[in-house]
Structure 1
Amino acid sequence: MAGAVEKLSNNARGIPYAPFVDRVEDYVTTRADVESTLQRFQEMISKYQFMESSTQKRALGLNDKIPDIQKTLETVQFLASRDEDAEPLETSFELNDTLYAKANISAVDEVYLWLGANVMLSYPLPEAESLLSSKLEAAQSSLRNCEEDLDFLREQITTMEVATARVYNWDVGQRRKEKGES
Structure 2
Amino acid sequence: MEGDAAESANAKSYSGIPEAVFVDNVDEFMSLPENSEGVDKVLRKLDEQHGKYKFMEYTLATKRRRLRQQIPDLARSLEMIEKLKAQKEDMDTQFLLSDQVFVKANVPPTEKVYLWLGANVMLEYSLEGAEKLLSSNMATAKKNLACVEHDLDFLRDQWTTTEVNMARVYNWDVKKRQAAKASS
Q: Same fold (TM over 0.5)?
A: yes
Unpaired runs of at least 5, structure 1: 1-9
Equivalent position amino acid for 2:39 in 1 = V
8 Å Cα contact 1:31/1:171 also seen in 2: no
Task: Give deviations 1:147-171, integer Å, cap 9, x for gaps.
Answer: 1111111111110011011111111
C-alpha distance in 2, partners of 1:32/1:100? 66
More helix by share: 2
Separation in structure 1 between the aligned mates of residue 121 and residue 107 of structure 2, nearest angstrom: 23
Counterpart AA for 2:139: E
For the pair 1:117 / 2:119, whether they are aligned, the reply is yes
Q: CA separation in 2, counterparts of 1:169 and 1:32?
A: 17
* Matched position secondary structure for 1:14: coil
Distance 1:99 1:171, change over 3 A: closer
Aligned length: 171
* Cα separation, 2, equivalents of 1:97 and 1:169: 55
Answer yes or no: is the 8 Å Cα contact 1:27–1:37 preserved in 2: no
Greater than 4 Å deviation, 4+ residue runs: none
Q: TM-score, normalised by structure 2?
A: 0.85
Determine which of 82, 98, 101 is the counterpart of 1:77: 82
Find the aligned partners of 2:95 and 2:137 in 1 and give their Cα distance: 23
TM-score scaled to structure 1, two decimals?
A: 0.86
* Identity value in percent: 44
Match of 2:177 in 1: 175
2:28 maps to which residue?
26
Change (3 A) 1:31 1:178: farther
CA distance in 2, matches of 1:171, 1:52: 29
Residue pair 1:20, 1:160 contacting (<8 A) in 2 also:
yes
Moved more, 124-133 or 144-153: 144-153
Comparing both chains, which one has the higher relative contact order based on Cα–Cα distances under 8 Å and sequence gaps of 6 or more?
A: 2
The amino acid across from 1:102 in the alignment is K
Partner SS, residue 19 of structure 2: coil
- Name the SS for the 1:11 alignment partner: coil
Structure 2 unaligned spans of 5+: 1-11
Matched residue SS, 1:95:
strand
